[in-house]
Structure 1
Amino acid sequence: GNIRQVDAVVHVVRCFEDPDVIHVDGSVDPIRDIEIINLELALSDMEQCEKRLAKVAKDRKASPDEKKALEKLLEALNNDQPARLVDLTEEEEKATKALGLLTRKPVIFAANVADSDLAEGNSMVESVREHASKEGAPVVIVSAQVESELVELDPEEKKEFLDALGVEEESCGLRALVRAAYERLDLQTYFTSGETETRAWTIMRGTKAPQAAGVIHSDFERGFIRAETMAYDELVEAG
């Protein structure tokens, strides 16, 4: 019910064969699955746009930017194009943001594979990559089975397990998915450190220091004077 409030959509796609895990359609076809979900999301967005456009058409005070944007979006959706591929002006974007269109949100594809394919993927993953490349969407290889096992292991056991699979923790799975989400949403993290704790704060890439301080507390932004910073690599090098 709250999916329209999210910043991005992670589309988990089955990319493994397993006779013990029955697919609702009787066969494994990641592109078919993607297209089915995309159609459902598009139909939902079309309904949103049509309802809103009907209201705007009756409202003399309605923004002309909103009407133009809704017409552009509906045209794309009716032509099997996701709303995120529609080029809107800044004013049109603001006028329609409250709709929370699902196909307007950035998408990340998580290709769910068997543990044996976690290191290099498979032909199904390649088909997902080809599909995703059409709109510049990232694809991350994950294995839900492996992730469920990793949560039961301590750090040393986890490393041994991943080494046996021939993968590094940063290159696939949840860590890689988080990194892909950060890049897709243009986010970055900065850390504050004191005597009692070190904390991470998330900001948009390019945020200036006063606004970054405001993420901690609005008073810090209003009374901002200066910030002492250190690059992450320098901190690691210094030990």
Structure 2
Amino acid sequence: MTPRPTGSPGRARPLRGAVPSPNIWKHTATYETENRAVDPDGVLWSTLRSLAPWTGRTVLDLGCGTGFHLPAFAADAGRVVGVEPHPDLLALARRRTARLDHVSVLAGTAQAVPLPPSSVDVVHARWAYFFGPGCEPGLAELDRVVRPGGTAVVVDNDGSRSTFGAWFRRGYPHLPAPAEVERFWSTRGWTRTPVDMGWRFASRADLEAVVRIELPPAVATEALRHHDGLEVDYAVNVWSRSF
């Protein structure tokens, strides 16, 4: 069942320790549009499956938001658990997966996953919490909940390349440089797999709406002024680790 988000979540308070996500928390409906535009050719999904096959296994989607990706995992996973700290998004995720008996959606954070030790085989986190320096408490939770032989995959922006990467660097110059982020992950035993995926929108209005929730206003306006069409080349890094 697909949720019908309004413009933004209501006044329910997220769990303590949740890292604010201004795009999906404040612009839920537009973020759904972005999710539909991401990875139109399935390159990212193919990479995730090659790094962490989940057929018949237990999958944890950390920071699952409205549950957009849960049905895709549920198609062939043995069990799927979504964890989300924002109550309104949690409710949408539960509604979306209400008819999937082997999917559960729990309130929790990356730093306090509401699951027992060694209980999941695959962890998926996409643009949620694990952004490099500062996410050490969440990494400790992965050590606790992933079974031996399991795998975690983290999807994050690659600010070193692509059109969106250049926009991202201009919009958020205070964030750690790509080289610093890579050092953070590599020194902790994670492997980088670069992926060129892209955005492909149904309309120019959708593209513009998404760019404006992802970038500061002045940067978004400038980016849109120089970019034509309905597609944006977009590079990400998939960080993976076996346990």
Pair in the same fold by TM > 0.5: no
Q: Which structure has more strand as a fraction of its residues?
A: 2
Larger-gyration structure (1/2): 1
Q: Which structure has more helix as a fraction of its residues?
A: 1
TM-score (norm 1): 0.28
